[in-house]
A and B are shown apart, each in its own frame.
Chain A
Amino acid sequence: MPNVQAIWRGVDRHLVSLGAAILVLALVLCVVAPGFASVTTLYDMALALLPLLILALGLMFVLLVAAIDLSITATVAMTSVIAASLITRNGGYLSGELGIVIAFVSFILVGALIGLANGAMAAYVRMPSFMATLGTYLLLGGAAVWYTSLHTSSSSIAGLPGAFSVVGRGSVGPFPIALLIAAAVTVLAWLLVNRTAFGRWLAAVGSGQEAARVAGVPVQFTILGAFVICGVCAGVASIILTARIETGSPVLASNMLLDVVGAAVIGGVSLYGGVGKIGGVILGVLLLTMLDVGLRLMGMSLFAVLTVKGLVIVLAAAIDGLRNRMARR
Chain B
Amino acid sequence: MIKQASPLLRMSGIKKSFDGVPVLKGIDLELAFGAVKGFVGGNGSGKSTTMNILGGVLKADAGRMELAGAPYDPAGPTDARTAGISFIHQELNLFPNLSVAENLSLEDYPRIGGQMGVIDWRAVRSRAGAALRSVGLSISPDVEVSSLTPGEQQLVEIAKALTADPKLIILDEPTTSLTSREIDRLFGIVRELRSRNIGIIYISHALADVREICDEIIVLREGVVTDEGDVHSMVTDRIVAGMVGRSLEQVFPRRRAPEARDTPPRLSVKGLSKRGTAKDIGFDIAPGEILGLCGLMGSGRTEVARMVFGLDGYDSGTVAVDGIPLRPRNPREAIKRGIAFLTEDRRVEGVHLQQSIVWNIPLVRLSKEGRALAWLDPSRLAAEASEIARRTNVKAASLEALVSTLSGGNQQKVVIAKWLTLSPSILILDEPTRGIDIGAKVEIYALIAELAEQGMSVLLISSENEELLGLSDRVVVLEQGEVREVIHRADDRFTEAGLTIASSAGGSGR
Contacts and interface: CB of A to CB of B under 8 A. Distances in A.
A70 B345 CA distance: 34
B370 interface: yes
A302 interface: no
A211 B350 contact: yes
B349 interface: yes
B376 A195 contact: yes
B174 interface: no
A327 B366 CA distance: 24
A210 B404 contact: no
B336 to A, nearest CB: 8
Interface in A203-262: 203-204, 207-208, 210-218, 221-222, 225
Nearest to B369: A197
Contacts of A200: 359, 362-363, 366, 376
Contacts of A155: none
Contacts of A199: 376
B207 interface: no
Interface in B388-439: 398, 400, 402, 404, 418
A198 B372 contact: yes
B275 interface: no
A218 B349 contact: no
Contacts of A201: 366-367, 372
B350 A197 contact: no
B125 interface: no
Contacts of B352: 203-204, 207-208, 211-212, 274
B346 to A, nearest CB: 9
Given A9-B398, A216-B331, A217-B363, A196 B348 contact: no
Nearest to A270: B354
B18 interface: no
Contact of B367 (A195, A217, A274, A275): A217
Nearest to B355: A207
Contact of B404 (A203, A221, A329): A329
Interface of A is mostly: helix
B488 interface: no
Interface in A9-27: 9-10
A274 B355 contact: yes
Contacts, number: 103
A171 interface: no
Contacts of B367: 197, 201, 204, 215-218
A200 B373 CA distance: 11
Interface residues of A, number: 31
B123 interface: no
A274 B352 CA distance: 10
A307 interface: no
Contacts of B334: 216
Nearest to A217: B367
A5 B32 CA distance: 57
Interface string A262-293: 00000000000011000000000000000000
Contacts of B87: none
Contacts of A9: 398, 400
B371 interface: yes
A194 interface: yes
Interface in B363-384: 363-364, 366-376, 378
B50 interface: no
Contacts of A10: 400
B341 interface: yes
Contacts of A195: 375-376, 378
A138 to B, nearest CB: 31
B363 A204 contact: yes
B296 interface: no
A222 B366 CA distance: 13
Given A213-B331, A328-B404, A197 B349 contact: no
A211 B332 contact: no
Interface string A75-101: 000000000000000000000000000
Which 6 pairs between the two chains have the least Cβ-Cβ distance?
A: A216-B367, A198-B372, A216-B332, A216-B335, A197-B374, A327-B354
22 contacts: A9-B398, A194-B376, A195-B376, A197-B372, A198-B373, A200-B363, A203-B355, A207-B353, A208-B351, A210-B345, A211-B348, A212-B352, A213-B349, A214-B309, A214-B341, A214-B349, A216-B335, A217-B363, A222-B372, A327-B402, A328-B353, A328-B354
